[in-house]
Amino acid sequence: MFELPPLPYPMDALEPYISENTMSFHYGKHHKAYVDNLNKLVKDTEFENMPLEDVVKNTAGRKEFSGIFNNAAQAWNHAFFWNSMQKNGGGEPTGELKKKIERDFGSYENFRAEFKNAATGQFGSGWAWLVEKDGKLSVMKTANADTPIAYGYKPLITVDVWEHAYYLDYQNRRPDFVDAFLDHLVRWN
């Protein structure tokens, strides 16, 4: 059975940028529901004993398994999102990652603008990602449950732009939520 992974910090650790109230709904209800639904959907199937990432990769693009994919990918995306943040995070990365960002985007400011545009320009629900493939960094956005691991990309960070990720704290101000993520929450290490 798949399990809801523990948060890497207390529920109130990301305040004031993400409230404990938002975390209780987002993690405690939304993420948990994906895990619970996935367990029901994979029971007695070939996916029942696979690692979560393998379930995502083996169901991606297969219409007959879209329910399994959606729940598996959302469970994976959310676990990755929680680990993309930390208390007192944000700002520019350092070290090798900063060098790669400067190499592939020209500057941190260019990366930041491209990432924010992907996050705020995602119509409806989805995700913005910093990914790596073949040694090159890029920004991508995915809709709904879609995820870069289904396409062979290595995710480095993500921000969830489904409304449940920010609406209690930011209402319809998605750009403010993305700014808070980049300036105060992102976990570069």
What's the pLDDT score for residue 3? 96
Digit-coded pLDDT (tens) for 95-105: 999 999 999 99
d(CA 172, CA 22): 14
Strand segments, DSSP code E, in the chain are 126-133, 136-143, 154-160
Write down the pTM of the prediction: 0.96
Tell me if 128 sits within 8 A of 96, measured CB to CB.
no
What's the pLDDT score for residue 45? 96
Digit-coded pLDDT (tens) for 69-114: 999 999 999 999 999 999 999 999 999 999 999 999 999 999 999 9
- Average confidence (pLDDT) over 41-52: 96
